[in-house]
Structure 1
Amino acid sequence: MSSKPLGAFDVAIVGTGLSQSILAAALSKSGYKVLHLDPNQYYGSYHASLTLDELVMFSENYTPQQSSHPRYSEIQYDFPQTSEPSSELSKMSRHFSISLSPSLIPSKGAMIDSLIGSGVSRYGGFNLLQGIGMYVEEGETGYFRPVPASKEDIFKDKSMSRVEKLKLMKFLRYIVSDEGKLEPRDEITIKELISGDFGLPPFMASAVIYALAFSSSGNESSAAALSRIQHYMLSSGRYGNSPFLVGHYGGLGEVAQGFCRASAVYGGVYILGRQMESINFTEKGSPSSRYRICVNDVPDILEARTIVFPSSGIASVSSILSGLKPTVTEQETRLARCIAILDFQIVFEPANQPPADTFTIVFPPHMVGRHEKAVVALVTGEGTLSCPSGYYISYLVTEVEEDGVNRTAETILRPYLSSLLSKATTDASRQSPKEPLFELFYIEMSPTQSKFQPPPVQGAYLIDDSSPSVASFTECADHCAREAERVFWEVVKFVESDSGTETQERIAAPKAFWPISHLGDGSEAEGSEGF
């Protein structure tokens, strides 16, 4: 390996997850030299969007034994209709964009601000979520009942009495009022607040808790749940009659790749598909060579003034770190996930309305599979450009209780997938029951906290890319954008105060997370949001 460095970077960022990708774009656009590394051959890391062939390869090749803190476990996949991929499905593999971390993006929030401020909103497309439904038990069976998304929907809903509508409107007015904002009510749960203080009937209470707040349990603090409801209500109406957007081509993975493109436009250097052999930290010599990184098949030494690691992935590189001592908590949040490819449509809208292309179904706790946490399903069709015409991708996710560690993702989620399939469109030419073309079950695990020991470590930062709960289904995108901005200012503060900054070519430190562009990408154009 050559002893000559490829170049001195201001910051090296490990992993191309959504948080890291936003950070890379912001730093590059502010004039900092960014090196972005990812051992995977695709962008997005844990938020990646994969083709069907790539997803099958990921399922076969991922080995949790290689890490003391693996992100995934209990990966099982199958082709129920054919036992193996059909030739027709194989030919269409590249037409599927399947997300490892499916999420909805609120129409107002940190992520939308970053998409607009960076100009990345022009690199991809977004659709409005067309509806939210909730499973309602009726005898031994059940059905999917649409949840009103606006004041207009509430008053059009013929299933609610006038008294029920007035109670619901009273609650929603409280949410957006100063009283609702100033009284977080930490001392009571969201279920106690809604059922007690406002007296909402069972369906409406469940709809608020699980389909508006996206709580995994009614025992969640009312403060956190109310904060999310406020956020989503303020998001409704910005781009249409829904508070949520769904990204094209798999969602957050494509968004992450868009931010990486933006970083590259402003000089960011990318190395993907190469394993890092060593990361050496030293306080001797020039600050610009504080971190020396050796990458497989890259003959030059890579040097950086600062370095950023993903908090949930720090354990996977701890063995190659020299001079740094990261510690990772053993406590983990576990999410059971399922991905299913369907060649038929799921229907939950009333018969007099056309079926939705992209929608969410929420199963409250203790229904269908009797799981103690809520289960959320997202169904995406060709409108999101994530699959060919006539095909759909269904995602299911739920939290796994500590006493359920020994249960597999398939054991937990199979009943809910079956419930979805039972609401498929009828087709006399097909046999019942309908089965997916492809299904994948797996457990996702995220360390809740990581840190360097002993602190402080000069120029080393951790950025949170975890998926802490079912609420991350709607909060993940904004969380990643906020994390990127937090670490952005920490890196800027350190680099600008570091010795040796005379070698930098910047005129002045940035005054905004997304400074106005001067490269003609149009990101400064007022009102041109790109949606």
Structure 2
Amino acid sequence: MADLDSLDTTVFDAIVLGTGFTQSIVAAALARAGKTVLHLDENDYYGGESGAFGLKELLGWAQQMAKVDPVDDTDKIDFDKLVGKTYSAIDVDLFDHASLSPSLEIDTASVLAKNSSQPAEAQITALASHLTSEFLVKTGTSSAATPKKDLQEAIQLIASLAVMLHDDDNKQGDSSKSSNNNLRQKVTVGQIQALGQLCEHSRRYNFDLSPKLLYSRGPLTNLLISSGIGKYLEFKLLERTAVYEQTTDTVEMLPTSKEDVFVSKALSLKEKRQLMKFLQFAVDYENQRSVWEDYAHATFARFVQTVFGLQGKIWTAVVYAIGFDGNDYATTTEGLKSVKVYLQSLGRYGNSAYLCPLYGVGSELAQAFCRVSAVYGGIYMLQHGLDHHVVEGSSNTWKALVDKKGSTLQASQLICSREYLSGHMDGYIEARTLNRSYVSHCILITDRSAFGDTSLCKTLFPKGSLVLNPEAVEGGGAKPRKNEHTVSVLQMCGGTMTCPNDRYVLYVWAESDEKEGTAKEDLLAAIRKLVHITGDRFSLKAPEPEQSSVASSSSSGTGAPATAEASKTTKSSEQQPLDVQPRMSLDQEIDMEQVRQEILAAEKKLFDESAATAASATAETTTSSSPSSRPSTPAPGSKASSRTASKSSSSSATSSWPSPRALMALYYKRTASWPRVPYPEGSDELTPLPTNLTVVKPLTHALDFEEATEEARAIFERLCPEFEFLPPTPDPED
């Protein structure tokens, strides 16, 4: 990491602000082309809006984002305010599974009210002191004792979160917010103990702010391979894809590859033929325009239903499990393109179309590109405060950047994300934004997999499949309010290096058209279908006590007697899904020729047999019963574990597995708005951004990075049309 005083020059070909995903690719490409690059970030971490955090760091980030003040319309760069403006509706739920007795509750509302006129730091100190003393009393410990370090950290975090939520209520003029685990009102001993357990392993978590995956044969993966940047990364394959079926109120694993089609018990022989016919067409759809050109601008969902007659589970599998790219209103052209990329990605590394980088997706990818930039002379400075831009008024040309110390940094081009603009510049983008878009997020920690024996899984809740207001509907006072956008869920396991091995992380997100309303309102209905939430009767039923993983009395560090439920132990380890899939690098493509030949043979047999004959019925029964719905776990390192991520195609994603318990949930809403034609009336009269200033778009709610990758390529090719975009890195021996 460079220091400004040690620089030989303050004039560069390009200055890049923010280490977000798109900026990092552009910085790497510019440096690789021989340009001098200065890359600055006011954060102390890489990744920007796709950054990754440990547990304590994540909760600290949430508190920082909640301190939102109005953005001043000035020429100054106010990074903290613009970042805070990006995030809203921040809420935290901590769940107590051990202490449900009212005698173990600690009041927080009175302390917050008493100290409401004090600065935030004083409020936190007062509440933390109150929580500590009450915790010692309620656990039967001497007041002279000191809780162990993890519990002290938990108490401090809870105090900070309670003050944050209380202040946010006051800002919004709403003190009536309530939840099953409302830190504004009370805290239980069990919540403190549970958070203490999580804090004990804080560094083993790598939470993504904007979780995504990579297509195995998509533009980003191909770029990582061709440029050599992929050698810095390790991956795992996504195992399965599930979709919520409203008619049966179940989350079902659907066939998403040819192998899945043959072993699926959820589809009839006729349905399998229909699906295979469509998949064969989609691989070569460009050469069959007559089939789809009349539907090019119609929705993809209508096309597959009208032309191919897909209904029920097959329609759901094609539209959501295979073709969904984050766009609920995708046209036929967009849907077919997405399906083809998906199908082409199957088989490159195994029976899955998606790759998941380890150690946090967005942050690891951004750092990989930053390393390449640094190798080719790019200069990096984190935690570098910036003051204002210098723009030549007559020509409206960006000239320089002035930092907090008064140093002037010059360049021919500036590439940045929106939070590095001045108030006036940000106001221009705001005024030009007609169709606003937001993304509701939830990061949820659970004690077991939400999908039975599947550890790394993608799940979708189609638009209109969820009732968002069951409480109001049950009382008869309101009509059902359905989800207007698809809700995406991505489950990560310990094998992805994002959490401990006995924990799972569920990322839940969905597009939102309105800034008003909370992320919890948008996402809670989907979460209720996957996990048990303490005190929430609309969520899954709690697992049997002997199957639950709860905080034991030893976690208090005080010698207090264990509660009845806390003394229970978890069931044997065989009940937890075993992650045996090895890590892989991008140079481990497998030879799928034998697999392809087997598929062709099975496909020929499938189409040759008649559905009406007894032989076909026998063949279908035989195919459906292998593998079994509860397959044995392959040994680590075996061919089965290293060559495929396929599991059984049982109709239920959870089968007889116990429901996972929610341990902690963080909700937030992120702004993804960007100007799109047509612009609002009168916005053309505003002073445009300087021509040599490029502002990258915020990440969308799409599952992959393909749009951001193509944006980075377009920016580079516009700035350096004479150079190749990230050519292969030369071999050191050459």
TM category (shorter chain) comes to: 0.7 to 0.9
CA contact (8 A) 1:216 1:373 kept: no
Of the three residues 441, 463, 484, the one matched with 1:372 is 484
Structure 2 match to 1:496: none
CA contact (8 A) 1:175 1:181 kept: no
The structure richer in helix per residue is 2
Larger Rg: 2
Deviations along 1:308-340, one digit per CA (max 9) or x if unpaired, are 122xx15x5223879x96664253212211110
The structure richer in strand per residue is 1
C-alpha spacing 1:181/1:37, structure 2 compared with 1 (3 Å): farther
Code of the residue aligned with 2:484 in structure 1: it is: E
Shift of the alpha carbon at 1:412? 2.0
Of the three residues 233, 245, 263, the one matched with 2:343 is 233
CA contact (8 A) 2:674 2:697 kept: no
The alignment partner of 1:447 has SS state of coil
| 2:493 paired with 1:414 | no
C-alpha spacing 1:181/1:232, structure 2 compared with 1 (3 Å): farther
CA contact (8 A) 1:338 1:396 kept: yes
Of the three residues 247, 251, 257, the one matched with 2:361 is 251
Shift of the alpha carbon at 1:361? 1.2
The alignment partner of 1:21 has SS state of helix
Identity in percent: 28
Give, in whole Å, the separation in 2 of the partners of 1:89 and 1:455.
Answer: 48
Structure 1 match to 2:52: 49
Structure 1 match to 2:451: 347
Structure 1 match to 2:664: 438
Give, in whole Å, the separation in 2 of the partners of 1:38 and 1:130.
Answer: 35
Shift of the alpha carbon at 1:168? 0.8
Structure 2 match to 1:10: 13
Of the three residues 331, 335, 338, the one matched with 2:435 is 331
C-alpha spacing 1:67/1:249, structure 2 compared with 1 (3 Å): farther
Shift of the alpha carbon at 1:107? 0.8
State how 1:161-240 maps to structure 2 within 5 Å. 161-178=268-285, 182=289, 183=292, 185-214=295-324, 219-240=329-350
C-alpha spacing 1:480/1:433, structure 2 compared with 1 (3 Å): closer
Shift of the alpha carbon at 1:381? 0.2
CA RMSD of aligned residues (A): 3.1
| 2:457 paired with 1:359 | yes
Code of the residue aligned with 1:147 in structure 2: it is: L
Structure 2 match to 1:270: 380
Shift of the alpha carbon at 1:519? 6.9
Shift of the alpha carbon at 1:445? 1.3
C-alpha spacing 1:401/1:35, structure 2 compared with 1 (3 Å): same
Shift of the alpha carbon at 1:393? 0.6
| 2:223 paired with 1:114 | yes
C-alpha spacing 1:77/1:110, structure 2 compared with 1 (3 Å): same
- With the length of structure 1 as denominator, give the TM-score of the two structures: 0.83
Structure 2 match to 1:384: 496
Of the three residues 705, 709, 713, the one matched with 1:485 is 713
Unaligned stretches of 5+ residues in structure 1: 349-354, 494-508, 525-531
Structure 1 match to 2:250: 143
Give, in whole Å, the separation in 1 of the partners of 2:328 and 2:371.
Answer: 41
Shift of the alpha carbon at 1:92? 1.0
Give, in whole Å, the separation in 2 of the partners of 1:236 and 1:442.
Answer: 33
Deviations along 1:485-525, one digit per CA (max 9) or x if unpaired, are 111122225xxxxxxxxxxxxxxx53x112343472x9x9x
Structure 1 match to 2:703: 473
How many residue pairs align between the two structures?
Answer: 482
C-alpha spacing 1:180/1:201, structure 2 compared with 1 (3 Å): farther
Of the three residues 345, 349, 352, the one matched with 1:242 is 352
CA contact (8 A) 1:18 1:465 kept: no
The alignment partner of 2:319 has SS state of helix
Unaligned stretches of 5+ residues in structure 2: 73-81, 97-189, 468-481, 533-539, 549-564, 566-657, 677-682
Give, in whole Å, the separation in 1 of the partners of 2:491 and 2:422.
Answer: 38
Deviations along 1:365-390, one digit per CA (max 9) or x if unpaired, are 22243312221110000111111111
CA contact (8 A) 1:339 1:440 kept: yes
Give, in whole Å, the separation in 2 of the partners of 1:303 and 1:77.
Answer: 42
The alignment partner of 1:78 has SS state of strand
Shift of the alpha carbon at 1:100? 0.5
CA contact (8 A) 2:42 2:382 kept: yes
Structure 1 match to 2:238: 129
C-alpha spacing 1:181/1:303, structure 2 compared with 1 (3 Å): farther
Shift of the alpha carbon at 1:59? 0.7
| 2:727 paired with 1:515 | yes
Structure 1 match to 2:111: none
Give, in whole Å, the separation in 2 of the partners of 1:210 and 1:197.
Answer: 17
CA contact (8 A) 2:398 2:693 kept: no
Shift of the alpha carbon at 1:455? 5.7
The alignment partner of 1:332 has SS state of coil
